[in-house]
Structure 1
Amino acid sequence: MKNLLSFKFENKDKETVAIVPCLDGVGLDQLVADFERAAGYTDPAGGYGGLVPSCFRFGPLSSYFLGMEEPVSGDEPGKIYVLSCECGEVGCWPLITHVRLHQDKVIWDGFSQPHRPRRNYASFGPFEFERKQYEQAIEDLVRCHGAD
């Protein structure tokens, strides 16, 4: 069964909006927090929050979420931030995934927390989306967010 991608918006303040990816209606921030708790990752750390386009140059969101912008980590294409720190800064406490595009599906796998390289996220995901639904969710995001 494929996952469904959607996005929710959270107001950080009057002018700042964070974008939180949702999988099957549940915020990715909640899903990864539950995973980390169950895995015993209780060392002092930040909390996750949505991506804040006004604080980081992601490039056009329509290509960013397809993994078509510069990778955020390493040289392998397709690596993107999917969450930032609860403060809104991706350099503070991000969650990274690898976007893999296929003809009829999109896969998110290879999750990592760069500030805790010993953490193993191999059993978090992979998340698989029907490509048309995934691209429609991104189009809806761009239309609702008002910028690409």
Structure 2
Amino acid sequence: MTGSERDLVDKFAYVLASDSSPWGPVRFTREFDYRRGRTDVVALDDSGEVIAVEAKLTRWRDALQQAYRNRCFAHSSYVLLPKPVALRAIRYAIDFEARGVGVCYFEGDELSIVLHAVRAEPLQPWLCQVAEEWITGEMRDSKSS
């Protein structure tokens, strides 16, 4: 099992930065902080869609709630768990499907998506725009000037 949540997120970021991302080439950042929480990873794919990912080592129910909340700004939202936890959580696939949240884990160094998220328009398009600006650095650049 992965040593820490940060290790899990680091491994995920490595996959996003490589050619083996399941979403193709993406731009991404960590720790998107918005009023309702802080998302571990947010990515922007080539089609301009925002993908949110919540990582947890054990508390998959908490990750599910956070990922569901992230749908307010993301086109799709996932939980990232260690494989044994993901396989336990997927027994409750109906809960993930009801919220449109996907589940992924690592099989060695390969990212496996065991349940795909439902793609939907974000509930708050303005917050989606803020996430896009955060990912592309426009928001951070304007704050630092």
Q: Is this a same-fold pair by TM over 0.5?
A: no
More helix by share: 2
